[in-house]
Structure 1
Amino acid sequence: MKLYSMPSSGNSYKVRLLLALLGRDCVIVDVEESSAELLAAKAAGALPFGKAPVLHLDDGRMLPESNAILVWLGEGTRYLPGDPVARARMLSWMFWEQNQHEGVIAVRAALHSYPSRAHLATPERMAELLERGHALLAVMEEHLAGHDWLAGDAVSLADIALYAYTHTAGEAGGFEMARFPAVNAWLARVAALPGYVGLSG
């Protein structure tokens, strides 16, 4: 398999993390934002939706979208619950990660990190994202205050999906993570999983 991955992206990192946790071999092709490699991958048709991550299977088929890749990789593993309700709850968190969490937590971090987006980081925009991000983290805090994992009684793909941008929310996004002790304890549980690798691992 070959993974086209943006090294600084949480969406790409969540796939690399699951590959590491599963001990799966995969060739990693780095396509960082604004790089010649990214332009070449787009020109070659390697990124169907124009962005990373994309997993190229051994038979030539391509899987775009980070959470779809997680579901494919997770099939038949401990990370994909067998119980239909637990699986639906897992998917609920994964949908929420993409349509709520990622668009705030990741966006604020990106406005901090990428020079090409600095002009968008107005004080008003950054303040709005900070407020919204704290509200989203509070949703996770409320749930994790009474549960070790996001979906069911065991780690699942939901935890991998939400870990990616949450674990750098303080450093990269400027969110006040000390306000969320249950989230921090959950982050530590994910980081303690056998095979874990960090963002730059």
Structure 2
Amino acid sequence: MKIHGDTNSGNCLKVKWVCDRLALPYTWIGVDMLKRETRTTPFLKLNSAGQVPVVEFDDGRVLAESNAIIRYLARGSDLIPADEFAAAKMDEWLFWEQYSHEPYVAVCRFQMKYQGKPASDLDPDKIKRGYAALARMEHQLAATRYLVGDNLSLADVALLAYTRLAHEGGFHLDGYAAVRRWIVEAERSLGLPPAR
């Protein structure tokens, strides 16, 4: 399969990490979002939404949306809890990540790192909501090793992508001991070098 993605995107890295963790063979096709390569006619034929990641399977089928992709790729693996309710809790975190975490933590990171905005120019509401997301994670991770109990799941993969780089969006993790512990454990479990 081919993964069309940008390694600067946490949403794309999720897919790479799942493939690497499960030893799924793939070819990485670099797409530079900053150069608007997601807006070209060939790319829009793959995904009319003009977003990465996109996976192109050998049989010609195409799948977009990072959490849908990782949910499909990881079926039958230990990254999806065997217990149906635990799997539903994992899905709950996956939906929450895209709606209540990524729009704040990842957007602030993008604005600072790639658009050169100083932290003082970020939308205060985005900062407030980003910290609320981190606080919710802290509360959960103070009670459980990973987001859904004692085993790494896709919930951790999805939320690790931007949480480990939250500092690049002006978010400080000093008061989030459980989140910091979880980042180290999740990175280790996925074989990732520590985030800088």
> Residues 3 and 41 (structure 1 numbering): CA distance in 2 closer, same or farther, change over 3 Å?
farther
Aligned residue for 1:152, secondary structure, equals coil
Shift of 1:122: 8.6
In structure 2, the gaps of 5 or more residues are none
Amino acid at match of 2:164: H
Q: Does 2:181 match 1:188?
A: no
> Residues 168 and 100 (structure 1 numbering): CA distance in 2 closer, same or farther, change over 3 Å?
same
Aligned residue for 1:143, secondary structure, equals helix
Residue 114 of structure 1 corresponds to 114
Residue 154 of structure 1 corresponds to 151
Which deviations, in whole Å up to 9, do the C-alpha atoms of 1:147-197 show, x marking residues without a partner? Answer: 001113311100000000100001x11101111010000001111115436
Residue 163 of structure 1 corresponds to 160
Check the 8 A contact 1:11/1:53 in 2, yes or no.
yes
Residue 77 of structure 1 corresponds to 77
Shift of 1:101: 0.3
> Residues 59 and 198 (structure 1 numbering): CA distance in 2 closer, same or farther, change over 3 Å?
farther
Q: Which protein has greater RCO, CA pairs closer than 8 Å, 6+ apart? A: 1
> Residues 173 and 15 (structure 1 numbering): CA distance in 2 closer, same or farther, change over 3 Å?
same
Residue 19 of structure 2 corresponds to 19
Q: Percent identity?
A: 35
Check the 8 A contact 1:20/1:196 in 2, yes or no.
no
Check the 8 A contact 2:43/2:50 in 1, yes or no.
no
Aligned residue for 1:48, secondary structure, equals coil
Residue 135 of structure 2 corresponds to 138
Shift of 1:49: 2.1
Aligned residue for 1:177, secondary structure, equals coil
Residue 170 of structure 2 corresponds to 174
> Residues 122 and 147 (structure 1 numbering): CA distance in 2 closer, same or farther, change over 3 Å?
closer
Alignment of 1:75-114 (within 5 A): 75-114=75-114
Residue 7 of structure 2 corresponds to 7
Aligned residue for 1:149, secondary structure, equals coil
Check the 8 A contact 2:100/2:129 in 1, yes or no.
no
> Cα RMSD (Å) of the superposition?
2.2
> Residues 73 and 175 (structure 1 numbering): CA distance in 2 closer, same or farther, change over 3 Å?
same
Residue 47 of structure 1 corresponds to 47
Which deviations, in whole Å up to 9, do the C-alpha atoms of 1:30-81 show, x marking residues without a partner? Answer: 1111326434465561223211001111100001000000101110110011
Q: TM-score, normalised by structure 1?
A: 0.89
In structure 1, the gaps of 5 or more residues are none
Aligned residue for 1:29, secondary structure, equals strand
Q: TM-score, normalised by structure 2?
A: 0.91
Check the 8 A contact 1:30/1:37 in 2, yes or no.
no
> Residues 173 and 16 (structure 1 numbering): CA distance in 2 closer, same or farther, change over 3 Å?
same
Amino acid at match of 1:21: R
Check the 8 A contact 2:94/2:155 in 1, yes or no.
yes
Aligned residue for 1:63, secondary structure, equals strand
Aligned with 2:126 (options 125, 129, 133): 129
